[in-house]
Amino acid sequence: MAGTTLAAGYSGPPAWQWSDVITSWQLEPVVLTISVVLAALYALGLVRLRRKGGGWPLGRSAAWFGGCALWIWSTMSGVGVYERILFTDRAAQVVTLLMIVPLLLGLGGPVCLVAETVGERGRERLLKVLRSWPSRILMFPAISTALLMLPPWLYYFTPWYEHTMTSAGWNTGLHVILVVLGLAYFWPRLQIDPVAHEYPALVGLFITMAEVIFDAGLGIMLVYGHSTVAEHYYTALGRPWGPSIREDQVWGGCTVWALGDMAGLPFIAALVRRWMVKGRAETAAVDAAIDAQIARQREEAAARKATTAAPPDAVAPAPAAATVVATDDDPEMLRPWWLDDPNLAHRFGGPKDA
């Protein structure tokens, strides 16, 4: 939207309205190009996978394309038009780019899609890259968590904030860097794609709780702190409409606090779902192993009874003795499976594994 001079010293869009999030638009070439390319490559991967006869979850595709669309919307819609005018608008954009867009892209599972469409050699190279030492360092829980928690604090309380308000290059860089940092956090947390470090989902829940605390702390500092972020910039802007500079920051701090916590809910839901799916798979595997062990023990016990039922000098077994049915009263049938497991037998008085 073209700027309109509304008062002396102010040149910018008119007073913000809710309809602007849909009706007001601007061009962000870098984000638009990256998003369109990522969406096109993902669609190409789906086509190649379908030609190979493979299937792909619809939810992952929806998450990926939704993340690309949200990235474009948050920088080119009314949110982007007013990003350098209102502190609250910028705060909502930062949370969206750092937490929501990367979460959706991570849920898309792009690395798994690439692994399904390339050949065996390409898959080996991909896994080699994921297991390299730079990948291991980047995906280490403490490192990836710091990449999400520290940038907002640095952004609001260093000259970085004002640079993005006065420089188009810095502003475009912010639109891209926040998404990259968010991906560095959510990718190893979700563990949908292959990662260098695999750890229990419970660790991810604890990290998410810490992230919620950091968001709350940042929101409290913005709302109740005594310093005004980029006060000189907003004073020189001379915006004649809307809240005062201080009121705008208070609303922005509340937005960071509330939207940051709300953005963490889908991530927690994804972790819990993954935890439950993995737990069901492990339970099914253990149940299958126990069933196989019991069936094998019953077959062995039935064979022993069949052998001992016939007299050694009998010419032919009697019809009644030809079939022996094993019952659950047989001690061999009731022998606990863990007594024969080499990893658990020594804990319960069974024979130790040699």
How confident is the model over 41-53, as pLDDT tens digits? 999 999 999 888 8
**Helix 245-309 and helix 201-224, axial crossing angle in degrees, nearest 10:** 170
Contact yes or no for 98/181 (Cβ under 8 A) = yes
How confident is the model over 188-238, as pLDDT tens digits? 777 787 776 666 666 666 777 777 788 888 989 999 988 899 999 999 999
Strands (E), the chain: 4-7, 10-12
Give Cβ neighbours of residue 30 (< 8 Å, ≥ 6 apart). 172, 175, 176
- Looking at residue 339, its pLDDT comes to 62
Q: Alpha-carbon distance 82 to 97, whole Å?
A: 15
- pTM score over 0.85: no
Q: Percentage of residues in the chain with pLDDT exceeding 70?
A: 77
Q: How confident is the model at residue 179 (pLDDT cuts 50, 70, 90)?
A: very high
Top pLDDT among 264 and 28 is at: 28
Q: How confident is the model at residue 326 (pLDDT cuts 50, 70, 90)?
A: very low
Q: How confident is the model at residue 321 (pLDDT cuts 50, 70, 90)?
A: very low
| 120-134, 172-186, 201-215: range with lowest mean pLDDT | 201-215
Contact yes or no for 222/249 (Cβ under 8 A) = yes
